[in-house]
């Protein structure tokens, strides 16, 4: 309306239009009407509108477009999420690894081009929003409550959903498994009441490999949190894990400990969330909680024979062992 009004005013400035019947009067009425509309309840509201629109325009001008590298991180995060959803959507071929006394369950599956992946399924006594806040918003505090993690640092945030992180794994007893770190791109999204935190390894120029630390790889990995159908204040928590620790440790040994690591993570997360709860609720939950079973330790027999190094992993389920002469025992846990 305002541009049309100014055109009308400009028109009456020409000599041959000044004498046109009613044109001058129409222009004055239009100007009065437009100014009255802009003025609103206060004399300066039209100025506020101009300033607001100018501010919005300035903010759009100041917005920096994503760089080519940023776009690649966003694409990697989306790719990790889509791959993870695809893997979790396929219910066929999963084999049970662990079923804990409290119902926590770990399944595994071998996939082409990826290898063995693990899936943790647990029910947590927390709403998804609380868990999302702890795992996403407070991500850098994970080292405070997860003994398997030494440090998590956000290297870069890209938009609302994507970030690049550096994770340093905690040292193992005796330092049998050397220091490991990860550089990952993570994608955090919400779809309705379901929350996702997906990720995969990436390259970040600002965090090159460090001397004395093995750069491990992971992904696709994904945590899915959705409200329980029986109780919306509880969360069905699913964690897809795919990891390659690199180095000399046989994958058969790593695969044995990864499933237990997931079960341990669920317990550590429960303890962390309970620490934020009122003491009365914690006491009530503690009465119902069963004691955790003994921690599982792996025994690696290093047998030297004919200049060859052989590895033997005991049967964890039955606890059976095979004793061999001239064997050195090293106990370690990841």
Alpha-carbon gap, residue 168 to 153, rounded angstroms: 9
- For 79-135, the pLDDT digits (tens) are 999 999 999 999 999 999 999 999 999 999 999 989 999 999 999 999 999 999 999
Task: Report the first-to-last Cα separation within the chain, whole angstroms.
Answer: 70
Tokens coding 263: 């079960």
The per-residue pLDDT for range 4-61, each reduced to its tens digit, is 544 445 554 455 545 555 555 665 666 566 655 555 555 454 445 544 554 554 444 4
Report the C-alpha gap between 2 and 37 in whole angstroms.
10
How many other C-beta atoms lie within 10 A of the C-beta of residue 243? 21
Per-state percent for the chain, helix, strand, coil, to nearest 5: 35, 30, 35
- For the residues of 175-218, what is the DSSP string, one character each? G-S--EEEEEEEEEEEETTEEEEEEEE---TTSPPPTT-EE-EE
In this structure, the number of other CB atoms found within 10 A of the CB of residue 268 comes to 16
Question: How far is residue 116 from each of residues 68, 111, 112, 196, 256, measured CA to CA in Å?
Answer: 33, 6, 9, 21, 11
- Residue owning tokens 């003491």: 279
Q: What is the C-alpha to C-alpha distance for residues 328 and 62, in angstroms, rounded to an integer?
A: 65
Gap between the Cα atoms of 309 and 174, Å rounded = 20
Give the integer Cα–Cα distance in Å for 254 and 276: 33
**Residues 236-273 pLDDT 10s:** 999 999 988 887 777 777 777 788 889 999 999 999 99
* pLDDT at 148 > cutoff 60: yes
H helix or E strand, kind and range, residue 166: strand 162-169
Q: How high is the pLDDT of residue 206? A: 94
3-class state of residue 136 by DSSP: helix
- Rounded Cα gap, residues 161 and 89, in angstroms: 22
Q: What is the crossing angle of helices 279-288 and 251-274, to 10°?
A: 130
Three-state secondary structure readout of 42-105: CCCHHHHHHHHHHHHHHHHHHCCCCCHHHHHHHHHHHHHHHHHHHHHHCCCCCEEEEECCCCCE
Q: Could you tell me which residues are beta bridge partners of residue 328?
A: 302
Strand 327-332 relative to strand 221-227: parallel, antiparallel, unpaired? unpaired
Tell me: the pLDDT tens digits for 177-209?
Answer: 678 899 999 999 999 999 999 999 999 999 999
Q: What is the pLDDT of residue 256?
A: 76
Phi and psi, residue 163, nearest 5°: -150, 155
């Amino acid at each position: 309306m305002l541009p049309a009004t100014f055109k009308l005013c400009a028109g009456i400035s020409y000599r041959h239009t000044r004498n046109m019947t009613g044109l001058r009067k129409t222009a004055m009425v239009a100007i009065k009407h437009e100014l009255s509309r802009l003025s609103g309840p206060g004399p300066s509201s039209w100025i506020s509108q101009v300033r607001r629109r100018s501010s919005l325009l300035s903010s759009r001008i100041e917005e920096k477009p994503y760089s080519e590298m940023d776009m690649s991180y966003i694409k990697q995060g989306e790719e990790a999420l889509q791959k993870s959803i695809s893997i979790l959507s396929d219910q066929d071929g999963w084999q049970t690894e662990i079923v804990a006394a409290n119902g926590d369950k770990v399944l595994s599956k071998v996939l082409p081009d990826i290898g063995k992946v693990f899936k943790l399924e647990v029910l947590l006594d927390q709403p998804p929003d609380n868990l999302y806040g702890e795992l996403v918003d407070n991500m850098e505090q994970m080292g405070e409550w997860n003994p398997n993690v030494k440090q998590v640092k956000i290297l870069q945030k890209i938009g609302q959903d994507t970030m690049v992180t550096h994770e340093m794994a905690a040292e193992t007893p005796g330092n049998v498994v050397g220091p490991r770190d990860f550089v990952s791109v993570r994608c955090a999204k919400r779809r309705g009441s379901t929350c996702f935190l997906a990720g995969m390894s990436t390259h970040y120029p600002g965090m090159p490999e460090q001397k004395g630390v093995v750069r491990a790889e992971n992904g696709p990995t994904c945590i899915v949190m959705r409200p329980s159908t029986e109780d919306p204040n509880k969360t069905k928590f699913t964690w897809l894990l795919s990891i390659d620790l690199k180095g000399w440790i046989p994958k058969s040994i790593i695969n044995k400990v990864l499933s237990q690591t997931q079960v341990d993570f669920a317990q550590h997360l429960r303890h962390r969330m309970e620490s934020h709860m009122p003491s009365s609720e914690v006491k009530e939950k503690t009465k119902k909680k069963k004691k955790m079973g003994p921690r599982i330790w792996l025994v690696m027999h290093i047998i030297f024979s004919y200049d060859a190094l052989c590895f033997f992993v005991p049967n964890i389920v039955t606890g059976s062992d095979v004793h061999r002469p001239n064997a050195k025992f090293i106990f370690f846990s990841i």
